[in-house]
Amino acid sequence: MTELLSDTARESLLPPLAENGWTHDEKADALCKTYEFEDFTEAFSWMTRAALWAEKWNHHPDWRNVYKTVEVTLTTHDVGGISSLDAKLARKLDSL
């Protein structure tokens, strides 16, 4: 069952993500990061890999691609904020 991250979980999960460039949109309670690639093919290739994980985990990013940049926003609408799934997907995106 997906739940909103507890304060304790936030204290352990969010700082490592912040170190990797994820910011916390407090108003939306979402994780945000802008990835920059060499060009469009690199950006879209990464999106394709990310899409497979998103679909596999049934948890999808809100993302915008403009040529070689991809702006990603992760939140869990069902719980109204960041869940462990968002943290997990964020780590996966960083690893691709």
In the complex, which residues of this chain contact a copy of itself (CB under 8 A)?
40-41, 44, 47-48, 51, 54-55, 60-67
Q: Which is nearer to a copy of itself, 13 or 43 (CB)?
A: 43
| Nearest distance from C-beta of residue 6 to a copy of itself, angstroms | 26
| Nearest distance from C-beta of residue 71 to a copy of itself, angstroms | 8
Q: Which is nearer to a copy of itself, 13 or 59 (CB)?
A: 59
Q: Which is nearer to a copy of itself, 36 or 62 (CB)?
A: 62
Q: Rounded to 10 degrees, what is the CA torsion of 3, 7, 11, 13?
A: 0
CA–CA gap between residue 18 and residue 56 (Å, rounded): 25
| Nearest distance from C-beta of residue 15 to a copy of itself, angstroms | 27
Q: Which residue has the tokens 């204290």?
A: 11
Do 27 and 74 meet the contact criterion of CB atoms below 8 Å apart? no
CA–CA gap between residue 94 and residue 56 (Å, rounded): 17
